[in-house]
Structure 1
Amino acid sequence: MEKAVDKLATIIPLFLASTRFYGKRLDLYSNKLPAYVDKPQSNLKVVFIKNVPQQDPNSNDCGLYTCLYAKYISNEVFDMDLIHIDAKYHRKRYATIM
């Protein structure tokens, strides 16, 4: 699986650059972010995260879990072994924010 991810991590940025996708979206200039200054677009950091919390099979909380994973990953929390997600609490929390 790691080989497949490595291939995708190379081909997707190359495709997006060759189709000038980055130039069409003003919010995608990652080369301006400190972590990406002086790095080519095709040099992405790939992190494998294991043991992520799973939603209940019939819960329809996939959007909630996606938002929470994005929050954890953006805060560089990659070890999710001890994380328990209380979906009811987070649904109320996001409803309050909205």
Structure 2
Amino acid sequence: MGAHWCVAVADVREKTLKYYDSLEAAIDKCLKILMKYLTDERVARKVPVHVWKTENAQNLPQQMNGSDCGVLSCMYAEFICRNADFTFAQKDIPYFRHKMIYEIYRCKLLM
């Protein structure tokens, strides 16, 4: 969203599209664009189009500055992929920055 990072997750099994924003901005425009893309893809592939539920995620760990949205977006994605609850906060960002650098350098994700 411009210079601000956010995450949207399409769950094909549950037919849900969920938007995660570290400023808790409800950006319906983003969900509408992604929903149109998903619908267009299904039509192009001649797959039945189903009704999906969209949602702006609430009660997320929030950024307290103007520079941590990228780290928080990456952490949302990681915790979602691990099916884990969001158990981190702004105070954990320095650790996550170092962890991400290490993972990139080693080409291996830590558990």
Give the alignment's TM-score, normalised by structure 2: 0.46
Could you say which residue in structure 2 is the equivalent of 1:66?
A: 73
Task: Deviation per CA, 1:41-98: give whole Å up to 9, x if none.
Answer: 646575653210111223x122111110001112223x53x53251111111111122
Give % identity: 24
Q: Confirm whether residue 76 of structure 1 aligns to residue 83 of structure 2.
A: yes
One-letter code of the match for 1:13? Answer: L
More strand by share: 2
**CA contact 1:10–1:42 (8 Å) conserved in 2:** no
Q: Distance in 1 between matches of 2:52 and 2:81?
A: 14
Could you say which residue in structure 2 is the equivalent of 1:32?
A: none
Q: Distance in 1 between matches of 2:83 and 2:55?
A: 10
1:1-98 alignment to 2 at 5 Å?
8=32, 11-18=36-43, 20=44, 42=50, 49-58=57-66, 60-77=67-84, 79-80=85-86, 82-85=87-90, 86-98=92-104
Q: Which runs of 4+ in 1 moved over 4 A?
A: 7-11, 43-48
**CA contact 1:61–1:87 (8 Å) conserved in 2:** yes
Unaligned runs of 5+ in 1: 23-39
Q: Evaluate the alpha carbon distance shift between residue 64 and residue 41 of structure 1 in structure 2; reply closer, same or farther with a 3 A threshold.
A: farther
The total of aligned residue pairs comes to 73
More helix by share: 1
Give the alignment's TM-score, normalised by structure 1: 0.51
Q: CA RMSD in A?
A: 3.4
Q: Distance in 2 between matches of 1:96 and 1:10?
A: 35
Structure exhibiting the larger radius of gyration computed from Cα positions: 1
Q: Distance in 2 between matches of 1:55 and 1:66?
A: 10
Q: Evaluate the alpha carbon distance shift between residue 41 and residue 96 of structure 1 in structure 2; reply closer, same or farther with a 3 A threshold.
A: farther
